[in-house]
Amino acid sequence: MPNILIVDDDTDLLDSQKIYLEGEGYTVEVAISMEEGLEKLAGFKPDLILADLMMEHYDSGFVFCKRVKDQTNAIPILMQTGASREMGFSFDTATPEDRKWMKVDEVLNKPVPLEDLGAKIRQYLGDQTS
């Protein structure tokens, strides 16, 4: 079964995504901060990471993603953010240059419907839950 790490300070979102993804056959670990997410990586090897942009600091997600991608590019990272809704910022990963500076494979705007999240994860991982 594929492993997914969710790093987000919104505990309601963590709970709902964890329950949904486990129901889809994934093994899920969660962390509520950048530091906890980095600590989880020491003992949990995710096949995909869902990371929030704004946690302890406005850029914690970018810092977390950079640290992960500096170690390996093998793990797809999907950043979830409400920044476009809350502050009018938008992030685009349409070009390789955008993905390189952000250190993420794709940006998803919160709230992400669970069915859409599942489809996006399957797009990156394929159907490995069988």
**Burial status of residue 68 (CB atoms within 10 A of its CB: 0-12, 13-18, 19 or more):** buried
CA 77 centroid distance within chain? 5
Per residue in 75-100, pLDDT (tens digit) is 999 988 875 544 444 555 555 565 45
Q: Which residues pair with 78 in a beta bridge?
A: 50, 106
Among the ranges 1-10, 58-67, 89-98, which has the highest mean pLDDT value?
1-10
Domain residues of the chain, as ranges?
3-124
Q: What is the mean pLDDT of residues 32-54?
A: 93
C-alpha neighbours within 13 Å on the C-beta side of residue 29 = 19
Fold of 3-124: Rossmann fold (3.40.50)
- List the 48-52 sheet strands across, edge first: 27-31, 3-7, 48-52, 77-81, 106-109
Query: Could you give the CA distance from residue 126 to residue 104 in angstroms, rounded to a whole number?
Result: 18
